[in-house]
Structures are given as structure tokens and as C-alpha cells.
Amino acid sequence: MSGMSRGIPTNSPLVEAAFRTALLQQGRIVLLYAAVVCAGWAALLLAISLGRRGDDAALLPRSAWPEPAARRMLRVTFGLLWVLDGILQAQPQMPLGLPTQVVGSAAAGAPGWLAHLVGFGIAAWENHPIGAAVAAVWIQVGIGAWLLLAPRGPLSRAAGLASAGWALVVWVFGEAMGGLLQPGATWLYGAPGAVLVYAVVGALLALPEGSWGSPRLGVRLLRGIGVFFLAMALLQAWPGRGFWQGGPLSGMVRGMSGTPQPLPLSRLLGAFAGLAAAHGFAVNLAVVIALGGVGAALLIGGRARVPGVWAGVVLCLGTWVLVQDLGFFGGLGTDPNGGLPTALLLLGGLLAARPAAAPVPVPVAEAAVAEAAPAPAVRWTPVVALRAMAVAGAVGSPCSAPCRSRSPRSPRTPAPSWPRASRAPACRRTRRLPGSAWWTSSAAGSASRAFGERSCC
């Protein structure tokens, strides 16, 4: 439970003012760098578009098919979570409060070697508290924006790698491996840490795009989550840890209800704490059965997969509200804890486990009708206009390669003289592709008709 303990006050007005000033100053620098990078990237794309020669097919994107639904869902949701973590990291008490209230409490009871690693991170933070706090804010916001703005290609996979790498750094030095090696570790409190789920999702996003075309990735992911749930059920049922009596759980929830938060949520936590104190054995038995049942359903798969996923989502969200207190109310919470990210990972695995829809081939008759139909109006933008000019120049140039509709070994024959009213050979049919690719194709066709030139094909 990162940052939920109420330690010594760390609200120094001087440090808070310096932190706000440094945050705003570096924010301007970050925005300037982002603007320069975006302008350079746009100029590079424009240069590539103008440098291409040939018909309008050369201007089509490399991948005309949309991003897989599972990958898009994980990328967008965890990108938003990274942005939320960066906003939580910008709390005024974070420069002085994170080493004592967040990292120190997470490392309490950890093994010696892990305590030394966490101590090294605390010492590095305390030497430069303001600079470290500002850097943590912009790194996490930057990773989230990178995930949101890079849907496909090498940049998207690089964003996944950056997300996984930074999540592992935070997991070791900031959360002491999520408290997994502490004596009272339990999944209810957030073990093995929310950022470990971030790291798993980042590794999934870094996979080649071809990995998402088969349901095997989703099936393996859900089976891995099933094994994890079974292990957490065994840990929760282990005797001698106090959970069968209800004392640790009720004390934890009652302490959470006392932190500053909305009154309805505080009352709900107080009621659950009373239930756990009065019926500790029954509550722990229900948690063990729920964890074991969800894990078994995910591991078996088949018809039990979908009910197991939805039961796991309900279990994760219930734990996130009743035990983890949404992860960031009160104290110095730095993330929404493990309930919400685990639920999102379950839903992403369910989407990835569904069979991918195969592309439907277009019949010849429909292709002929689409070819003869007039092209709809083009929404002219500066980028479309520049690409249309490039296509017009390419269409007006002499043909230097045989038409793609002929075999490479067939002898070159002169192009037929098409009537001016129906100047549309078979290889110039209108391409109805999703997104901006359709507008690019239509703009290219409009430009070639406007200049009155005949295509090489």
C-alpha cells in the first residue's frame, strides 16, 4: 500500500514552493522539447511522402489494418494510468515524504539484501529531493503520453519497453518488490505491487505486432494469471499469519478508513472492517475460495475462461474499493494499487484470447462497381494537398517500370488509349481503407484527374 501510512509531517512550505517552481520550469522545457520532436517528426514524414515516386499506392501506410482491440485497450488504459501516477507524484509533500512514508514503509521487514537496495534508492533521493521528485513526475507523464500517442510500429513497441523498464526500477527501489517478501504479504494489500502489472503490460506491448494476431497470446496470458491467483490463494490460506482470525485485515481496513477521503467511502470501509473483525474466518475463507476458483477457471480455460475472467474482475474491483481504498486516498498514494491494473489485465487477456476476425475478400463484381463509382469529395488539408501534388508529379512522369497488374516476365505492351470519360484502369480502383489511408488514395486520384494525365498502369 504505497504511501498510505501516516508518518511524520513533511510539509515544509519552503520545499513545497521550490518543488512547484522547479516543476513549472521543467514543464516548460519538456513542452518545448515535445514541440520540437513533433515538428521534426512531421517534417520527416512529409519528406518521405514527397520523396516517394509512383502511383497513389505508394502513399498508403504500411499497415492498413487497425490495431488489435486487446493491444489498444491495454495501451490506452495503462497510458492513462501512467499519467495518473505522474499527477499523484506531483503532490507538494512528495520530495520529503516519499523516502519516509512511501519507500521506507514498503521496505519495513524486507530481507537484508533488498533493504540495502532500497536504502541506496532512498539515499539517492534524499541527496536531491526536488530534482528527483520533478524527474519522477515528468518521466511517468512522458511514458503515459508516449503510450497514448504511438499506436503502432517501432515507436509503440519502444514505449512498451520504456514502460516495462521504468516499472521494474520503481518496483525494486520504490516498492521493495511490492512487499512480496515481507512476513505479512497478501494479495489483498497489493502484493506483488501494481507496477509489476505495469511491467507485464509493457512487455506485452513490446512484442511484435504479429504476436497479437493469434489467440494463443491471450490464452497463455490468462493461464499465467490463473497460476498467479492460485499462488495468492495458497499464500492467503497459509496458517499462522493471522488472517484466519481477521485481526490484520480488519486493522488494515480500519486504519484506511481514518485517512482523509469522501465520507461514504470511509463509512463503507468502516463497515467492512467491522465485518472482518466479527467474522474473520468466514471472510478469509471466502477470499481463499474466490482466488482459488478464479485461478482454476483461468487455468482450465475453455468454457470456464469467460466466467473466470469476469469473476476475477469483480474480485479485483471489490478488493480495490473495500481493502485498498482506491489506492490513493489519504497519505501519499503514488498509484491506484494492484486491484484496478489486475482487472484491466484480465480484460485485455480476454480480448486477446478471442479469435481474430479474418479479412473478408472483396468480390470482383463489387470491386468493379467501386471502380466505376465516382470518388467522393476529398477533405483537403495541407498534408493531403502536399501528398496530392507529389502524386500528380509522379503521374505526369514517364513510366519507368512495367505495370504491376502484368507478370514481371511478360513482355511490355503499350498502354491502351482510354477514353477521356472513363480513364480508370483496373489497377487504379478506389481503395476504401480505414482512417486517413482512404483520404490519401482519394486525394491522389483527384489530383491525377485534375492534371489531366494518364497513369502508367
Over 50: is that where the pLDDT of 429 sits?
A: no
Domain that holds residue 261: 19-54+67-353
Residue 409 cell numbers, joined: 516476365
- Give the Å distances, CA to CA, from 18 to 21, 25, 68: 5, 11, 44
Positive or negative torsion for Cα 222, 224, 230, 231: negative
Q: How many CB atoms lie within 10 A of CB 453?
A: 16
Q: What is the pLDDT of residue 415?
A: 47
Q: What is the CA radius of gyration of the chain?
A: 29
- Give the distance from CA 326 to its chain's centroid: 20
Residue 278 cell numbers, joined: 466479527
Over 60: is that where the pLDDT of 188 sits?
A: yes
Over 50: is that where the pLDDT of 299 sits?
A: yes
Contact 247, 280 (CB under 8 A): yes
Average pLDDT, the chain: 79
pLDDT category, 224, cuts 50, 70, 90? very high
Residue 239 belongs to a domain: yes
Q: What is the pLDDT of residue 13?
A: 85
For 120-163, the DSSP string reads: HHHHHHHHSHHHHHHHHHHHHHHHHHHHHH--SHHHHHHHHHHH
> 31-40, 266-275, 365-374: which range is least confident on average?
365-374
Q: How many CB atoms lie within 10 A of CB 117?
A: 17
HSE-up of residue 35 (Cα within 13 Å, Cβ side): 6
Stronger pLDDT, 416 or 124, i.e. the higher one = 124
For residue 261, give the DSSP letter: -
Q: What is the pLDDT of residue 105?
A: 78
Picking from 174, 206, 183, the residue whose alpha carbon sits closest to that of residue 78 is: 206
Which residue in the block uniquely carries the three cell numbers 501528398? Answer: 387
Q: What is the pLDDT of residue 43?
A: 84
d(C-alpha 149, C-alpha 145), whole Å: 6
Residue 384 belongs to a domain: no
Residue 272 cell numbers, joined: 467492512
Q: In the predicted model, what is the mean pLDDT of residues 226-251?
A: 91
d(C-alpha 371, C-alpha 424), whole Å: 7
pLDDT category, 187, cuts 50, 70, 90? very high
Q: In the predicted model, what is the mean pLDDT of residues 349-354?
A: 95
Residue 44 belongs to a domain: yes
Over 90: is that where the pLDDT of 367 sits?
A: no
Count of domains for the chain: 1
According to the per-residue pLDDT averaged within each range, which of 270-279, 292-301, 362-371 is highest? Answer: 292-301
- Determine the straight-line distance between the first and last CA of the chain, rounded to whole angstroms: 65
Plot region of 179 (φ>0 → left; ψ -120 to 50 → alpha; else → beta)? left
Which residue in the block uniquely carries the three cell numbers 489530383? Answer: 447
| 406: phi then psi, degrees, rounded to nearest 5 | -95, 160
Residue 439 belongs to a domain: no
Which burial class, exposed, middle or buried, applies to 81 when counting CB atoms under 10 A from its CB (0-12, 13-18, 19+)? buried
Q: Any idea what the Cα angle at residue 189 is, between residues 185 and 195, rounded to 5°? A: 95
Residue 77 belongs to a domain: yes
pLDDT category, 390, cuts 50, 70, 90? low
Over 60: is that where the pLDDT of 439 sits?
A: no
Residue 7 belongs to a domain: no
Q: How many CB atoms lie within 10 A of CB 221?
A: 21
Positive or negative torsion for Cα 148, 150, 152, 154: negative
Residue 193 belongs to a domain: yes
pLDDT category, 339, cuts 50, 70, 90? very high
Q: What is the pLDDT of residue 35?
A: 86
Positive or negative torsion for Cα 122, 126, 127, 128: positive
Contact 269, 275 (CB under 8 A): no
For residue range 135-182, list pLDDT tens digits in order: 999 999 999 999 999 998 899 999 999 999 999 999 999 888 988 888
Residue 184 belongs to a domain: yes
Q: In the predicted model, what is the mean pLDDT of residues 230-259?
A: 88
Please state the length of the chain: 457
Q: How many CB atoms lie within 10 A of CB 21?
A: 12
For residue 63, give the DSSP letter: -
* pTM for the structure as a whole: 0.73
Q: In the predicted model, what is the mean pLDDT of residues 68-94?
A: 94
For residue range 7-43, list pLDDT tens digits in order: 445 668 888 889 999 999 888 888 888 888 888 878 8
Q: Which residues contact 354 (CB under 8 A, 6 or more apart)?
A: 215, 218
d(C-alpha 69, C-alpha 151), whole Å: 11
Peptide bond into 416 cis (omega under 30): no
Plot region of 355 (φ>0 → left; ψ -120 to 50 → alpha; else → beta)? beta
Over 80: is that where the pLDDT of 62 sits?
A: no
